[in-house]
Amino acid sequence: MSEARNRWIVRVILALAVLMFVGVSIVPIIGAFNSPTSTNQNAANPTGNLASSDQKTKLQDEVRGYELVLQREPENQTALKGLLQARLQLLSLNQGDVQGVIAPLEKLAKLNPERSEYGVLLAQAKQQIGDKEGAAQAYRTILDTKPGDLKALQGMVALLVDQKRPEAAIGLLQETLNNATQANTIQPGSVNVVAVQVLLGNVYAAQKRFPQAMNVYDQAIKKDPKDFRPVLAKAMLLKEQGKTTEAKPLFSNAASLAPAQYRDEINKAATASPTSAPAASAAPASTPKP
Q: 273 to each of 8, 239, 270, how far by Cα in Å?
A: 12, 9, 9
**Residue 134 lies inside a defined structural domain of this protein:** yes
Q: What is the pLDDT of residues 95-115, one digit of tens each?
A: 888 899 999 999 999 999 888
CATH number at residue 73: 1.25.40.10
In this structure, what is the dihedral angle of CA atoms 41, 47, 49, 52, given to the nearest 10 degrees?
Answer: -100
Over the Cα atoms of the chain, what is R_g? Answer: 21
- Mean pLDDT, residues 123-150 taken together: 92
Q: Cβ–Cβ contacts within 10 Å for residue 260, how many?
A: 7
pLDDT, greater one: 181 or 285: 181
- Most confident residue range from 85-99, 116-130, 170-184, 263-277: 170-184
Whether 8 is in a domain gets the answer yes
**Domain contains 70:** yes
Residue 284 has pLDDT above 50, yes or no: no
83 in any annotated domain: yes
Summarised one tens digit per residue, pLDDT across range 147-195 is 999 889 989 998 999 899 999 999 999 999 999 999 999 999 899 999 9
Domain membership flag for residue 5? yes
Range of the domain at 125: 1-20+58-145
Q: pLDDT > 90: what percent of the chain?
A: 54
Helix axes 193-206, 228-240, angle to 10 degrees: 10
Mean pLDDT of the chain: 80
Q: What is the number of domains present in the chain?
A: 1
- Given a cut of 60, whether residue 23 has pLDDT beyond it is no
Is position 139 within any domain? yes
Q: What is the arithmetic mean of pLDDT over 52-77?
A: 92
The Cα 81–Cα 75 span in angstroms is: 10
pLDDT band at 46 (very low <50, low <70, confident <90, very high): low
pLDDT-derived band at 283, boundaries 50, 70, 90:
very low
The verdict on residue 69 lying in a domain is yes
Greater confidence, 222 or 93? Answer: 222
For position 24, what pLDDT does the model report? 37
User: Is residue 32 scored above 50 in pLDDT?
Assistant: no
Nearest to 160 by CA among 151, 146, 170, 150: 170
pTM > 0.85: no
What pLDDT sits at residue 191? 93
118 in Cβ contact with 146 (< 8 Å): no
Q: Looking at residue 97, what is its pLDDT?
A: 85
The pLDDT of residue 15 is 47
Q: What mean pLDDT do residues 200-219 have?
A: 93
Q: Which residue has the higher pLDDT, 286 or 127?
A: 127
Can you give the pLDDT at residue 8? 45
Instruction: Let me know if residue 99 belongs to a domain.
Output: yes
The model's pLDDT over 242-272, given as tens digits with 9 standing for 90+, comes to 999 999 999 999 999 988 888 888 888 888 7
CA atoms within 13 A on the CB side of 11: 21
